Structure 1
Amino acid sequence: MEDISLVILTFLIFAGFAAAFIDAVVGGGGLISIPALLFTGLSPSVALGTNKLAATMGALTSTINFLRSGKINKKLVVKLLPLSIIGSGIGVYVVQLIPPEFLKPIILTLLILVTIYTIIKKDWGMKSTFKKLSMKMTIFIVLATLILGFYDGFLGAGTGSFLIFSFLLLGFDFVESAGNAKVLNFGSNLAALITFILFNSVNFYYGIPMGIAMVLGAFVGSRVAIKSGAAYVKVLFIAITVVLIGKSVWDYIQKQI
């Protein structure tokens, strides 16, 4: 049994590093970490809660790296952070009561539109044009933060991509958008984690080792993003959203069979 546990922990450590490396840049790490946790035999709710524990550790590391590099608009994200936290806590509570299946077709459609728009706008996000928020921009980012915070707690897949897209619409470049998004993602992860703990849906035995691996993966991933620049982040952003779309379509097909 101990050998099996060691094999499982090793598997989760490698999966955690890979997930956090991707998630640090453009989100989507849950595509790797959640299936890995489900593979160990955890129930879906405990797998989600355990993933939030590990992801919160990784998100904090990414946030610190982006902060140190000066790639975060601190004045803006500090104001938005409480909305992300509140939305996420509500989302985790609601998911205990309502299955998230009805949201998936909407999310798939939005992911497709986001990807197409990003590909068509070739120079979009290469340079930052953000100066200050207009009233329309303020209303947009406030609503987007609250809704995406809720979505992160409720379902989660693609939250990072949607957050980055929201900041791109404000005029930030891809690296700054990734940094701003990671702060809000950390807040929503933390709120979701606390709520999952209250529902006794976190496996600390798996979550902590995976989280340590995510700290390392997030550190490396965020450093690579900051060093490589907006073009690298844009390519990875498109790649991950395409994978998210593919997974969503595959899940839908499997349920129809």
Structure 2
Amino acid sequence: MTKILILCIVGFIASFVDSIAGGGGIITIPAYLASGISPHLALGTNKFAASFGSVTSSIKFAKSGKVNFKLLKFLIPFTFLGSILGVKTVLSISQNFLSTFILVMILIIAVYSIFNKSLGIENNYTSPTKLTLLFGIIMAFSLGFYDGFFGPGTGSFLMFLLIKIFKFDFVNASGNAKILNFVSNITSLFIFALNKQIIYTIGLPVGICMIFGARLGSHLAIKDGAKLIKPIFIIMSVAVAGKLIVSFF
């Protein structure tokens, strides 16, 4: 009972942070592993519980008008397809190479975000051109694929690229990233469920707590905007990089 209570508290904190800037998995996964749950079950149970918070924050952002469904209708199918292919090819990719590559990329994003003071502060979105839509489709497929077999930093990459490609501010980028990330999460969750890699007696109470964390986090993100999201985004990017460094060594 104590273990579940601790995991519920961790889940609340993780979903609060994740609903603002992504990166919740780097908080919950170590907690599941520390509680004695095997890696595959930890990943599956985390996907199950996190889906509660993910759908909550997605709905919250959508209701606030921070999700551009006219754009996402072109991107969601490619995120879905990418995540399916990612799950299927997970064992054929060198994890050491991937960890190093992602570490370098996410550190670049964090440093760039720190020194580019105007990044994501104003929402300059205009209707997508054929070129930006093509870049968006490539982004959706690639990050869906990545999230399907690896995952850390997916939310950070989505937010950063939505800002760079479509000129969103952090609030709108966060809202649209939540929807795309939710699609890839649900896809991989389905695979974990088929392979019986979910502990529902733990995932359900943790998931309920993650609903409340996601509601609070997304409310504050929508209310306080980029001034809240950007620093947390940078902190979580650095934290993901830190986790990858620890895992690498």
Superposition deviation, residue 181 in structure 1: 0.1
Note the alpha carbon deviations across 1:153-190, whole angstroms, 9 max, x for none.
Answer: 11111000000001101200000000000001111110
Superposition deviation, residue 213 in structure 1: 0.9
Query: What is the distance in 2 between the residues matched to 1:211 and 1:25?
Result: 17
TM-score, L = length of structure 2 = 0.96
Q: Does 1:62 align with 2:68?
A: no
**Aligned residue identity for 1:243:** A
Query: What is the distance in 1 between the residues matched to 2:95 and 2:52?
Result: 25
Alignment check: 8 A CA contact 2:96 2:248 kept: no
Alignment check: 8 A CA contact 1:85 1:190 kept: no
Query: What is the distance in 1 between the residues matched to 2:62 and 2:82?
Result: 23
Q: Aligned pairs, how many?
A: 248
- The aligned runs of 1:89-108 (5 Å cut-off) are 89-95=84-90, 100-108=95-103
Alignment check: 8 A CA contact 1:86 1:191 kept: no
Superposition deviation, residue 249 in structure 1: 1.7
Q: 2:205 aligns with which of 186, 196, 209?
A: 209
Gaps of 5+ in 2: none
Superposition deviation, residue 118 in structure 1: 1.2
Q: Percent identity?
A: 42
Superposition deviation, residue 78 in structure 1: 2.5
Q: Does 1:71 align with 2:66?
A: yes
Q: 1:168 aligns with which of 163, 170, 175?
A: 163
Aligned to 1:178: 174
Note the alpha carbon deviations across 1:209-244, whole angstroms, 9 max, x for none.
Answer: 111111111111100100111111011101110111
Q: Does 1:128 align with 2:123?
A: yes
Query: What is the distance in 2 between the residues matched to 1:198 and 1:133?
Result: 38
Note the alpha carbon deviations across 1:76-102, whole angstroms, 9 max, x for none.
Answer: 113211221221222223225656333
Gaps of 5+ in 1: 1-5
- The aligned runs of 1:105-254 (5 Å cut-off) are 105-169=100-164, 170-253=166-249
* RMSD between superposed Cα atoms in Å: 1.3
* Partner SS for 1:214: helix
Displaced runs of 4 or more, over 6 A: none
Aligned to 1:20: 15
Superposition deviation, residue 116 in structure 1: 1.7
TM-score, L = length of structure 1 = 0.93
Query: What is the distance in 1 between the residues matched to 2:111 and 2:134?
Result: 25
Aligned to 2:43: 48
